Amino acid sequence: MDAAIGFIGAGNMAEALISGLRSAGMDGAQILATNRSRRERLDHLSASWGIRVTPDKAEVCGSARVLVLAVKPGDLAQAAQGLRPHLVPEHLVISVLAGVRCSSVEHHLGGASVIRAMPNLPAAVMASATALAYGQGVADEHRVAAVSLFNRLGKTVEVREEALDAVTAIAGSGPAYVYLFMEALIEAGAQAGLSPTVARDLALQTVYGAAKLVRETGGDPGDLRRRVTSPNGTTMAGLAALEEGGFAAAIGKAVRSATQRATALGR
C-alpha cells in the first residue's frame, strides 16, 4: 500500500494532483485533504475522487508523513500557524506555492524539511511537467520520495531553486499559452469555413500529435518544423504570417513577464 499523502489546501492544483494520483492507481483512502474553510470544496474532492477529507490539520498530519502545501501564497502564514504544532521531524513538506522560496516555508513551519515543486495542470492526466528544488534540511530519502511521487504524474526534473521562476513561467504558466494558441487555431478554422466541432477536433489532435512526435522520437522541434515546411508551400505562408505578427517575440515576452511576476511574488 502507498504511504499516505496529505494535501493542505483544496484548490485547482491540489485537485489536479489528486486526480493524477488516483489515475495512477493510488488508493483514495491513502489521500487526505483539508482546507481552511470551504467545506463544500472538500465534499467535492471526496465525491469526485474517493479520498478522505477533514477540516482537522492534526488528523492529516497524524495520518500522512508527506504533506503537499497547496494554499495560495498569501495564505502561507495562516496555514503554517495551524499546521506547525502538528509537525514532527519525520514530515516532508512539498510546497507548490508559486514564487515562495523554500527558506520562507521553512521559516513559517519552524525548520521542517521542505521541497519546492512546480507541477502543472496536466498532472490531472498524468502528463505534468514538474520541477523540484530542495530546501536545506532535505535528505536523500526525501528526494527519492518526491521524484517517485511526481514521476507518477508525468516528467520530473531537478533544478536549483534560482531556476524555479523561469520554470514557473514555462511549465507552470505554459499550458495557458498552449490553450490560448489552441483557442486561436480553433477560431481561425471556424472563420475559414470549418464547423466549430471539426475545427476543435483538428486543432486538438494537431497539438497533441506534434508534441507526441517530439516526445517519442526525441526530434528537435526546429528540425521537425523545417521538415514540414515545403518551399513556397502553405506552411511557409502560415509561418511567415506568424513571424510578421511577432509570434516568437510575443512568446519570449510572455515568459519574461511571467518570470518577473514569479520573482515579485517571492518577495
Structural domain boundaries enclosing 112:
5-164
Residues 160 and 241 in one domain: no
C-alpha cell at 113: 524539511
Residues 88 and 182 in one domain: no
Residues 154 and 234 in one domain: no
> pLDDT tens across 136-172, in order?
989 999 999 999 999 999 999 999 999 999 999 999 9
Given 134, 164, 194, which residue is the final one in a domain? 164
The whole-number pLDDT of residue 1 equals 39
Q: How far does CA 78 lie from the centroid of its chain?
A: 23
Residues 14 and 48 in one domain: yes
Spatial separation of the C-alpha atoms in residues 7 and 123, rounded to whole Å = 15
Residues 199 and 155 in one domain: no
CATH of residue 10: 3.40.50.720
Spatial separation of the C-alpha atoms in residues 197 and 105, rounded to whole Å = 46
Terminal Cα distance for the chain, rounded? 40
Residue 256 lies in a domain: yes
* In 35-126, beta strands by DSSP E: 52-53, 66-69, 92-95, 113-118
Residue 169 lies in a domain: no
| C-beta of residue 65 within 8 angstroms of C-beta of residue 3 | yes
> pLDDT tens across 4-18, in order?
999 999 999 999 999
Q: Lowest-confidence range among 96-100, 114-118, 192-196?
A: 96-100
Spatial separation of the C-alpha atoms in residues 150 and 59, rounded to whole Å = 24
Residues 81 and 145 in one domain: yes
Question: Which residue, 39, 44, 95, is CA-closest to 67?
Answer: 95
